[in-house]
Amino acid sequence: MSEEINNETMIDLRRFFVLLKKNYLGIMSWGILGAVLAVLVSFILMTPKYSASIDLLVNQKASNQGLQYNVQQADLQAINTYKDVIQKPVILEPVVKELRQKDNYSGSVGSLAGVVTISNETDSQVLTVTVTDTNAYTAADLANSIGKVFSQKIKKMMKVDNVTVVTKATANTTPVSPNKKLNFLIGIVFGLLIGVAIVVIKDLLDTTVRDDKFLTEELELTSLGAISHIQGKKYRRVVNVTVGGNVDVEKLSRRRV
């Protein structure tokens, strides 16, 4: 039973690869079409976005060398709190107000919170605040404003002076999105998949009888014989055969094509 299933699987796979080989031009056309659509979407419909980052050092100086380690561990523990504070309205509201006056910024506190990401390496006292915007210079101004406001506000909120701007944000005119190369590859893959799906669906919907197994096994008819199609001959033989009957030899005739 398992051997029979394996044989059927091999036949299906063979049929699948035959379909791919037979329709490879159409499948490749769908891949090219997908790539063209992906390029058009990336260059026309998707708005480029730019990012800028500012690095903040969390480091409180101890009064003596013996306490320095404890202070450093306290700073590391405070970083998680600082991550949350940076994205709160207490920091972002003054930033939005400043940028509306400086760059005519049209975003809100909620939209700004959605484009701010904060990263920190393990056991590192440096926080990297990254802002994404449709304008490279606005992104840099937003990041620098967040760093400035946060450094000022944290002194009053935590009663400590342990935040220093290490690296200011600068405008980077290379967009971070959309990723045109990635979109191009995705377009090709999706186009090829659509082409393969169309070929397979057309084959499944094709009701043409391809061999006598369908007649003998599925329809349970008796096979009386097979007539091959001879292409390029000047004459052809026509044999009338009826199920359960005999071949009428007198009706064999030669007809000019």
The 10s digit of each residue's pLDDT in 63-79 is 555 566 566 677 777 78
* Domain 50-167: CATH class, spelled out: alpha beta
pLDDT the model gives residue 164:
85
Structure token pair of residue 209: 């009888």
Q: Where are the domains of the chain?
A: 2-42+181-206, 50-167
Phi, psi of 225 (to 5 degrees): 155, 175
Over residues 95-147, the pLDDT tens digits come to: 999 999 888 888 899 999 999 999 988 878 888 999 999 999 999 999 999 99
Mean pLDDT, the chain, whole residue set: 79
* Mean pLDDT value of segment 4-27: 74
pLDDT the model gives residue 154:
86
pTM greater than 0.75 (yes/no): no
pLDDT band at 82 (very low <50, low <70, confident <90, very high): confident
Quick check: 205 pLDDT over 70?
yes
Quick check: 2 pLDDT over 60?
no
pLDDT the model gives residue 197:
92
User: Integer distance in angstroms from the first to the last C-alpha of the chain?
Assistant: 48
pLDDT the model gives residue 169:
93
